[in-house]
């Protein structure tokens, strides 16, 4: 996260004595990535962050692969993923490889009975339905329909939902998630041609500080296992922090599309990147304004990447018979493009109101058993 932020109380100098008002010291923790070379924040806590009291069971949550080597265009009916009460239980991995897990979740209840940490992956949550608060040990973020929530690996968090009707597209990335490098100058500031700026970020506020001892269950995901660890103090005991490594939000509605006289390629819609995949936001925008422009995307071959599209809202002009919550997968190696009639009917149209999230991976995606359960089984023939 290339922007400095701080909350709470911190000493003037790093790695120096920081005394509690009633005596004793606050405990300093460097919360960093990529060894000591990546983004980091410096935290000050009431209790030692190492106070493990007991260990519970470890559960294997490795996605169950049904199709290892896929060469079939697929349509997954995302809203057929059934709601479940527990936040983690509701997450169903659908498309995976060694870099990313892409899935859907429909949690009915808030995550309050335990704390969660993904020790392997940055998490990207896209809120399709529901409102609430992401609560973390570095502060809270209110979220609503259309928000991306970027949660760096190792972040301790809970989630409060305002309703029981919640739908989330999530990605677990085994590489750090950044804003595209071409949008930033050498200092990290977003440039004038970027489709969003720092003002659009939802930064954490309302730092919760709990001075409580007892037994606090934390579920930690690592190497496909969900470990249960009991800590001797409340994990939200940070009194202050500063740095660059923290959760933040961004609304897809604040993405400002880049348009042109002729059809623009998908990279102009890019929102996030890693070295293994990119995330794009397709938003309402004016269409191409050359007098002979064809607004519908041209046919193209995914030779180097699998393309996943999650359809959020609006009129998906290049697709027929697409509904909210649908996922399409266009695998590398075969061409795809607009559905029959879409190419022609786009001519002369002035704008689109579509809203969608695209994830292009640079390594092939495997299909899970969960995905096959909601696969329509006939999408690959829809261009006939």
CATH number at residue 264: 2.60.120.10
Q: Does the residue 207 lie in any domain? A: yes
In sequence order, the 6+-apart residues with CB closer than 8 A to the CB of 163 are 130, 131
Q: Is the confidence at residue 2, as pLDDT, over 80?
A: no
Give the integer Cα–Cα distance in Å for 164 and 162.
7
Q: Which of 220, 251, 282 is the last residue of a domain?
A: 251
pLDDT at res. 61: 97
pLDDT, mean over the chain: 95
- Checking 219-223 for CB contacts under 8 A at 24+ apart, the result is 219/88, 219/114, 219/115, 219/116, 219/117, 220/116, 220/117, 220/118, 220/119, 221/61, 221/116, 221/117, 221/118, 221/119, 221/120, 221/121, 222/119, 222/120, 223/120
If DSSP codes are grouped into helix, strand and coil, which group holds residue 185?
Answer: coil
Host domain of residue 306 = 255-381
- 286 and 214 assigned to the same domain: no
pLDDT at res. 303: 85
Q: Is the confidence at residue 276, as pLDDT, over 70?
A: yes
Q: Which of 205, 225, 251 is the last residue of a domain?
A: 251
- 145 and 246 assigned to the same domain: yes
Q: What is the mean pLDDT of residues 8-37?
A: 95
Q: Does the residue 76 lie in any domain? A: no
- 53 and 20 assigned to the same domain: yes
- 217 and 241 assigned to the same domain: yes
Return the closest-CA partner of residue 127 out of 23, 289, 226, 253.
253
- 231 and 261 assigned to the same domain: no
- 171 and 284 assigned to the same domain: no
The one-character DSSP state at 9 is -
Q: Does the residue 290 lie in any domain? A: yes
Give the integer Cα–Cα distance in Å for 58 and 49.
21
In the chain, which residue ranges form alpha helices assigned H by DSSP? 342-345, 369-373
Q: Does the residue 72 lie in any domain? A: no
pLDDT at res. 70: 97
Give the integer Cα–Cα distance in Å for 324 and 331.
21
- 238 and 280 assigned to the same domain: no
State how many domains the chain has: 2
Q: Does the residue 367 lie in any domain? A: yes
* pLDDT, tens digit, 9 for 90 and up, residues 119-166: 999 999 999 999 999 999 999 999 999 999 999 999 999 999 999 999
Q: Which of 251, 281, 316 is the last residue of a domain?
A: 251
Strand (E) positions, 184-267? 201-202, 213-222, 225-233, 238-243, 248-251
Residue 327: φ, ψ to 5°: -120, 130
Residue 343: φ, ψ to 5°: -55, -50
pLDDT at res. 210: 98
Q: What is the mean pLDDT of residues 50-54?
A: 97
* pLDDT, tens digit, 9 for 90 and up, residues 78-130: 999 999 999 999 999 999 999 999 999 999 999 999 999 999 999 999 999 99
From residue 356, give the alpha-carbon distance in Å to each of 11, 151, 321. Answer: 44, 21, 15
- 284 and 362 assigned to the same domain: yes
Return the closest-CA partner of residue 271 out of 282, 285, 281.
281
Going by pLDDT thresholds of 50, 70 and 90, the confidence category of residue 318 is: confident
Give the integer Cα–Cα distance in Å for 135 and 242.
17
- 212 and 316 assigned to the same domain: no
- 185 and 57 assigned to the same domain: yes
Q: Does the residue 328 lie in any domain? A: yes
Give the integer Cα–Cα distance in Å for 65 and 178.
28
The answer to whether the CB of 41 falls within 8 A of the CB of 28 is: no
Least confident range from 33-42, 246-255, 273-282: namely 33-42
Beta strands 74-77 and 326-330 are: antiparallel
Give the integer Cα–Cα distance in Å for 318 and 334.
18
- 209 and 285 assigned to the same domain: no
- 137 and 223 assigned to the same domain: yes
pLDDT at res. 221: 98
Q: Does the residue 263 lie in any domain? A: yes
Q: What is the mean pLDDT of residues 219-236?
A: 98
Q: Is the confidence at residue 348, as pLDDT, over 80?
A: yes
Give the integer Cα–Cα distance in Å for 337 and 359.
16
Q: Which of 301-305, 337-341, 367-371 has the highest mean pLDDT?
A: 367-371
* pLDDT, tens digit, 9 for 90 and up, residues 180-225: 999 999 999 999 999 999 999 999 999 999 999 999 999 999 999 9
- Rounded to 10 degrees, the C-alpha dihedral 329/330/333/336 comes to 170
Q: Does the residue 89 lie in any domain? A: yes
pLDDT at res. 139: 98
pLDDT at res. 1: 58
User: What share of the chain has pLDDT > 70, as a percent?
Assistant: 99
pLDDT at res. 203: 97
């Amino acid at each position: 996260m290339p922007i400095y932020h701080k909350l709470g109380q911190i000493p003037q100098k790093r790695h120096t004595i920081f005394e509690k008002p009633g005596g004793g010291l606050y405990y300093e923790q460097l919360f960093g990535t990529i060894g000591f070379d990546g983004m980091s924040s410096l935290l000050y806590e009431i209790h030692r962050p190492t106070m493990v009291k007991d260990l519970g069971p470890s559960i294997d949550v490795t996605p169950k692969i049904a199709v290892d080597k896929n060469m079939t265009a697929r349509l997954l009916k995302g809203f057929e993923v059934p709601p479940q009460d527990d936040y983690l239980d509701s997450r169903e991995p659908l498309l995976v490889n060694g870099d990313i897990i892409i899935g859907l979740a429909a949690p009915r209840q808030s995550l309050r009975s335990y704390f969660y940490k993904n020790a392997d992956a940055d998490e990207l949550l896209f809120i399709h339905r529901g409102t609430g608060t992401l609560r973390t040990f570095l502060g809270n973020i209110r979220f609503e329909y259309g928000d991306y929530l970027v949660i760096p690996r190792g972040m301790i968090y809970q989630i409060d939902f305002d309703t029981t009707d919640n739908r989330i597209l999530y990605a677990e990335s085994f590489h750090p998630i950044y804003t595209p490098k071409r949008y930033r100058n050498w200092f990290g500031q977003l440039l004038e041609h970027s489709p969003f700026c720092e003002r659009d970020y939802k930064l954490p506020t309302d730092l919760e500080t709990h001075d409580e001892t007892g037994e606090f269950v934390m579920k930690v995901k690592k190497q496909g296992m969900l470990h249960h660890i009991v800590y001797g103090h409340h994990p939200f005991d940070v009194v202050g922090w500063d740095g660059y490594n923290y959760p933040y939000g961004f609304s897809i509605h604040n993405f400002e599309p880049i348009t042109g006289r002729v059809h623009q390629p998908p990279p102009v819609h890019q929102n996030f990147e890693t070295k293994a995949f990119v995330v794009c936001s397709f938003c309402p925008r004016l269409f191409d304004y050359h007098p002979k422009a064809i607004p519908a995307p041209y046919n193209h071959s995914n030779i180097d990447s699998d393309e996943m599209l999650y359809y959020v809202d609006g009129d998906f002009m290049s697709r027929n018979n697409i509904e909210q919550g649908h996922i399409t997968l266009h695998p590398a190696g075969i061409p795809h493009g607009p559905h029959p009639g879409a190419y022609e009917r786009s001519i002369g149209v002035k704008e689109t109101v579509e809203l969608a999230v695209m994830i292009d991976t640079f390594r092939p995606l495997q299909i899970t058993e969960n995905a096959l359960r909601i696969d329509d089984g006939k999408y690959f023939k829809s261009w006939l």
